[in-house]
């Protein structure tokens, strides 16, 4: 899955993150880990259990989409942006076996303002793409809570509902 000289740096997750894909605090989540490659791409090695199967022995299509969405999201996050999926297109090339480690790769392909276009793929043990996706992510501002929510982030005046 990784070459003998490939150097990957782990991407950190929030300790209390409840995200279904990568959240360590989600008891039924996928608990995905991601790494930053030297070329700027993001890499992961998911082995999805049979709890998330569609047909016996194969990962459910919605979970495949989740894997690709998570990978693209992390590619955006690796560049320091907080963004959410606006649009996503998945190409299911071959069935994805469950319980088997696969390689995921993702990257930003283009950025303009708050828009970030991404691409991701899942590769089997032979390095063949078995699922691919492209997506558009839009940067979002962190949601203000508590005392900070009383002021508008733009004008400093009280926020309106």
pLDDT in tens, 74-85: 999 999 999 999
Whether 106 and 67 have beta carbons less than 8 Å apart is answered as no
Strands 129-139, 34-37: pairing is unpaired
Scanning the structure block, which residue is given the tokens 């708050």?
Answer: 114
> Mean pLDDT, the chain, as a whole number?
87
Predicted local confidence at residue 3, as pLDDT: 59
pLDDT band for position 54 (cuts 50, 70, 90): very high
List of domains in the chain: 8-150 (3.10.129.10)
Supply the residues annotated as catalytic. 69
The pLDDT of residue 156 is 44
Average pLDDT over residues 104-125: 97
Which residues, in sequence order, are CB contacts of 101 under 8 Å at separation 6+? 1, 45, 46, 47, 125
Longest dimension (CA), the chain: 57
Using one digit for the tens of pLDDT, what is the confidence trace for 115-161?
999 999 999 999 999 999 999 999 998 776 665 544 444 444 444 33
Asked whether the predicted pLDDT for residue 23 surpasses 90, the reply is no
């Amino acid at each position: 899955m990784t070459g003998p000289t490939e150097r990957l740096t782990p991407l950190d997750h929030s300790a209390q993150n409840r995200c279904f894909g990568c959240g360590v605090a989600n008891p039924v989540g996928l608990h995905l880990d991601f790494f930053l490659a030297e070329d700027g791409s993001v890499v992961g090695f998911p082995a999805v259990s049979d709890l998330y199967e569609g047909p016996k022995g194969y990962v459910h299509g919605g979970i495949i989409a989740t894997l690709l969405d998570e990978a693209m999201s992390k590619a955006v996050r690796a560049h320091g942006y907080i963004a959410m999926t606006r649009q996503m297109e998945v190409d299911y090339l071959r069935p994805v076996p469950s319980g088997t480690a696969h390689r995921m790769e993702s990257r930003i392909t283009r950025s303009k303002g708050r828009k970030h276009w991404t691409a991701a793929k899942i590769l089997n043990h032979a390095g063949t793409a078995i699922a691919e996706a492209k997506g558009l992510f839009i940067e979002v501002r962190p949601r203000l809570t508590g005392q900070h929510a009383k002021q508008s982030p733009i004008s400093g005046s009280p926020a309106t509902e």
